[in-house]
Structure 1
Amino acid sequence: MEMGRRMVVIMVIVLMVALFGGSSTRAFTLCNMDDDGLSACKPSVTQPNPADPTPECCRALSGADLTCLCSYKNSLVLPSLGIDPKLAMALPAKCNLTPPANC
C-alpha cells in the first residue's frame, strides 16, 4: 500500500510541474488530449451540474487514448483537477465511443 501512495505522490508532483512549471508556452496533455480538449470536456465531468458533452469535447475524446484515461479512474489525479472520475468514465458512451472493456 505504501508503494501505491508513493506513486500517487510522484504522479501529482509530475502533474503539478507540468501544469505550473516550464515556459510560458507550456502545453498540458493527458492521454493524447491537449488543453483545448480537456477544457472542452471539463463542464461534462465537473460536479455539481455536469453538462452534456459538446461536439468539441467528443472530437477531442475520439482522439484520446481511452485505455490511458481509464487508468486514472481510481487515482487522485482527476479529482485534483476538479474532474469527477465517475463522470469521466461515463463520457465515452455519451460521445458514442466504445470505452475499453475493463474500464
Structure 2
Amino acid sequence: MAAGMRRNAALLVALLIVAVALAPAASGFTVCGVDRTAVDACRSYCAKGSKETSPSDACCAKVKPADWECLCSFKNSLPNDVNASRIMDLQYKCKCDNPPATCGAN
C-alpha cells in the first residue's frame, strides 16, 4: 500500500509541476505543500525547450508553500517533456523560504 501511495504521489507531483495528468486526482489534494493548480501556472516555464527567462507571478504564488525537500524526492519521476532543472530552480527564482542546499542527497 505504501508503494502504491508513493507511486501516486510521484505522479501527482509531476502533474503539479507541469505534466498533463491522465488519471484524475481528488480536488484539493496536495503533495509537498502544493496542489494541482500549480500545473497550469508553471507549465510554460518548466516545459523542456521553454524560452521564458522567469516564472510568472502566478506560478511563484502557487509554489511558495512547497516543501522543496519533499519535492526533491520526486525529481527523477518527472515526464520527459518536463525540465527538472527548471522545476527545482523555481525555489530560487520565486524566492521560496528554506530551499534545500542540495537536491537528491537522500
TM normalised by structure 2 equals 0.63
**Contact 2:10/2:74, CA 8 A, preserved across alignment:** no
SS in 2 for 1:79: coil
**Contact 1:33/1:60, CA 8 A, preserved across alignment:** yes
Inter-CA distance 12–71: structure 2 relative to 1 (3 Å threshold): same
Inter-CA distance 83–21: structure 2 relative to 1 (3 Å threshold): same
RMSD: 2.9
| Counterpart for residue 67 of structure 1 | 69
Deviations 1:43-68 (A, max 9, x none): 11101124221111111111111111
Q: Which runs of 5+ in 2 are unaligned?
A: 13-20
Inter-CA distance 67–19: structure 2 relative to 1 (3 Å threshold): farther
Question: Runs of 4+ in structure 1 displaced over 2 angstroms?
Answer: 12-16, 26-30
Q: 1:102: Cα distance to partner? A: 1.9
Residue 48 of structure 1 aligns to which amino acid in structure 2?
G
Percent sequence identity is 33
| Counterpart for residue 18 of structure 2 | none
| Counterpart for residue 78 of structure 1 | 78
Q: Which runs of 5+ in 1 are unaligned?
A: 1-6
Residue 15 of structure 1 aligns to which amino acid in structure 2?
L
Q: Which has the higher helix share?
A: 1
| Counterpart for residue 16 of structure 2 | none
The answer to which of 26-35 and 52-61 deviates more is 26-35
